Amino acid sequence: MNRLFIAAELGIPVVERLTQIQNELGRRFDATQLRMPETKDLHLTLKFLGETDVALQERIQETLHAFALGLFPFELALKGVGTFPDAASPRIVWAGLEPKSDELVGLLKDTLERELENIGIPKETRDFKAHITLARVRDLTETPNLDDLKGLDVGSTYIRDLVLFSSTLTPNGAIYSVVDRFPLGPQ
C-alpha cells in the first residue's frame, strides 16, 4: 500500500518566489510554530488518494495517462496568501490562484474526479480550494497580521504534466516521491 496523491508541479521562478514568501512567514511567526515544506516539495494538490493498493494504483496510472493525453499544457497565475481555516486561528498558510486560474483548476479537478470515479475512487465531498501549502501552523499563541500578503502577486507557471506522488509520513513531516508523470497532450 502506498499513500498517494495527484498534483501539479510548479516552475522554478514561482517556487523561488514562494520560498521568499516562506522566509517572510518565518520572520512573522515564531519559528517553532511553523513547519514548512521544503522548496522541492511545493506543489498544487489536485486529489488526495490515501492508502492505495498496487492493483488500484495501476488503474489510477492508466486513467491518468489517458486523461493527460486529452489535455494541453496551461498557465496558472498565483496570487495572494491566505490561511485555513481562517485568519484568526490559522492552521495552514497557503498561496492562492488568480480567479481565472482558480476556475481552470476547478474544472480540471472536477473532470479528474469524474474519471477517477469511473474506476471506483469516491468523489471528494468537501469544497475544493486550489492552493499551495506554504506552512503548517501549530501551538499558536499570537496570530501575526498577514493582510498585506492577501493581494500579493506570486507569478505565473506552466503546468506541463500531472504527477502521481507517494507520501511517507515521518515525525519531521511528509516525504514526497514521484511515482509517475503524465505529460499533458499528445506526445
Here the CATH number for the domain that contains residue 58 is 3.90.1140.10
Among the listed residues 41, 101, 107, 108, the one whose alpha carbon sits nearest the alpha carbon of residue 68: 108
Q: What is the pLDDT of residue 159?
A: 98
Active-site residue numbers? 43, 131
SS3 100: helix
SS3 116: helix
Q: What is the pLDDT of residue 139?
A: 81
Structural domains in the chain (count): 1
Q: What is the pLDDT along the chain (187 residues), one digit of tens a residue?
A: 999 999 999 999 999 999 999 999 999 998 889 999 999 999 999 999 999 999 999 999 999 999 999 999 999 999 999 999 998 889 999 999 999 999 999 999 999 999 999 999 999 999 999 999 999 999 887 889 999 999 999 999 999 999 999 999 998 888 999 999 999 998 7
Q: What is the pLDDT of residue 173?
A: 83
Distances (CA, A) of 178 to 9, 92, 102: 11, 23, 24
Instruction: Report how far residue 95's alpha carbon sits from residue 37's, in angstroms, rounded to the nearest whole number.
Output: 13
Give the domain extent around 63. 2-183
Burial of 162 (0-12, 13-18, 19+ CB in 10 A): buried
DSSP 8-state class, residue 49? E
Q: Where are the beta strands (DSSP E) in the chain?
A: 2-9, 34-35, 43-52, 74-84, 92-97, 132-137, 153-159, 161-170, 173-183
Q: Name beta bridge partners: 174.
A: 169
pTM of the model: 0.95
SS3 81: strand
